[in-house]
Amino acid sequence: MRFTFKTSILVALTSSSLVAQSRPLSDSVMALNRAGKWELAGQLADRAIRSASNVEERCAAFVGGLYAAARLSQITSGPRQLKVFDEMCANTNVVKQSARDIDEIRRAFDLPPMPTGIDWSSVDQFWMVVDTLSRDIEPSPTQWRALLTSPGYRIATISHPNIGRAIAIAFKPSRRAERDSILARRSDDSATIAHLLVVATAREDLKRFRVALQPLVADTIAYAVRNASRFLPAGASNRAPPLITFCIFASDGYAQEPGVVLDLYHVRENGLGDFVSHEFHHWYASSLDRTTYGTGGGDARFYQAIRQLKNEGIADMIDKPHPLVTPAGMKWYGDAYNAAYDKTPATLKVVDSLLVAAGNDSAKLADAGGRAQRLLIYGSHPNGAYMARTILENFGRDSLIATIPNAFAFIRMYEAAEAKRGDASPFSTAGHAALGTMENRHLKP
């Protein structure tokens, strides 16, 4: 469960000796697929797509990459790539020649509608896979698919596309050396694997917690809708609440259009009511946003960092007072959150300097965006909360709610709040010009 097929990324192939170089790379991709070497097939498919000299060869390689993605149950990225394939390759001979494989790929990505209400199936699937791996047995493709296509993991893989790989490394004894090597270095992978291992030690406690929690979830959802409504326009929360699905993936939870995924261990450690309220705010507010999601273009990462200031900042008004006090096991997070919160004006000045230095150069913006995301730690939560609370304290709740449709309006409202209390804006004239260009690019007509 290691490889994620993406046509936008060229993965270096370290095993080229395994494939014959005298035939098209697309043939070699499918040879690896037929041999069950799906991760290698996906890697080679990326290489073949980039090096193809014509659309027929490119689309043939694309089929091989999609086949590998289907076998690896990449149910988040796979359907998006299938859509790209349909748009690019509809009129090629490849569609006829590979019709059987394409039909199989479509069936693999043809998932049932998401349920409504409350779903626990991902937790059950998690423990079944853990039990299999712990005996040093690789789960079958059917078992992996049952896990990764369960409602919780269908949402969790949007932000954690390699969660299947992390679960395998965490619990399969024969991968212990690989696990220890990852844990020795601080990274997203090490944080995920460490979380999974902690969860495993609390299995019996989590079973008891689930039994106690299940009768309370419906009332908690009703509370969360009311709580989220405090920072939403009138009527915004009138539609039915989203799916709530519990999962094991990270010390986290988040909302996407299919619903809200919550890590069960994280809920046990941090509570449910305010946590769900925060995620419900995201879910309801997303339908009001007038800006694009911003997944493409040189400024994508910078724009996402800016967008998150507003999204997380307003939602943090629901569940994160200042100073933030966290459970003993999360003290490190609370300390870092509070330190970042207090430094927000200085941090935003650095963000401004990155904007100015990058200007409208897409290459520079890509690098500057990555630096901005690293600077605005924890997905822009603490700095966005500082900005939101500044608006709230100086102009009130209605002014804060008015910025929900537009992250750039949120920045302007924050500047006005700083001015009201006699403080200078951290954004320069040149920084404003760069923000204005970005806003024009991402504001929906």
Chain segment 265-284, per-residue pLDDT in tens: 999 998 999 999 999 999 99
Same domain, 408 and 438: yes
Asked if pLDDT for residue 11 goes beyond 70, the answer is no
Same domain, 277 and 205: yes
Same domain, 141 and 222: yes
Same domain, 309 and 176: no
Last residue of a domain, one of 84, 109, 134: 109
Q: Residue 87 has what pLDDT?
A: 92
Give the amino acid at 249. Answer: F
User: Would residue 6 count as lying in a domain?
Assistant: no
Last residue of a domain, one of 245, 262, 286: 286
Q: Across residues 352-366, what is the average pLDDT? A: 91
Same domain, 192 and 318: no
Number of structural domains found in the chain: 3
Contacts of residue 98, Cβ cutoff 8 Å, sequence gap at least 6: 60, 63
User: Would residue 295 count as lying in a domain?
Assistant: no
Asked if pLDDT for residue 7 goes beyond 50, the answer is no
Same domain, 98 and 68: yes
Q: Give the strand pairing for 259-263 and 253-256.
A: antiparallel
CA dist., res. 419 & res. 429, Å (int): 15
User: Would residue 8 count as lying in a domain?
Assistant: no
Same domain, 195 and 271: yes
Last residue of a domain, one of 239, 260, 286: 286
The answer, yes or no, to whether the previous bond of 323 is cis (omega within 30 of 0) is yes
Same domain, 176 and 249: yes
Q: pTM for this one?
A: 0.80
Same domain, 342 and 404: yes
Same domain, 142 and 78: no
User: Would residue 329 count as lying in a domain?
Assistant: yes
pLDDT category at 12 given cuts 50, 70, 90 is very low
CA angle 51/54/57 to nearest 5° reads 75
For residue 197, what are the domain limits? 118-286
User: Would residue 292 count as lying in a domain?
Assistant: no
Q: pLDDT > 70: what percent of the chain? A: 94
User: Would residue 147 count as lying in a domain?
Assistant: yes
User: Would residue 354 count as lying in a domain?
Assistant: yes
Asked if pLDDT for residue 18 goes beyond 50, the answer is no
Bigger pLDDT: 8 or 396?
A: 396
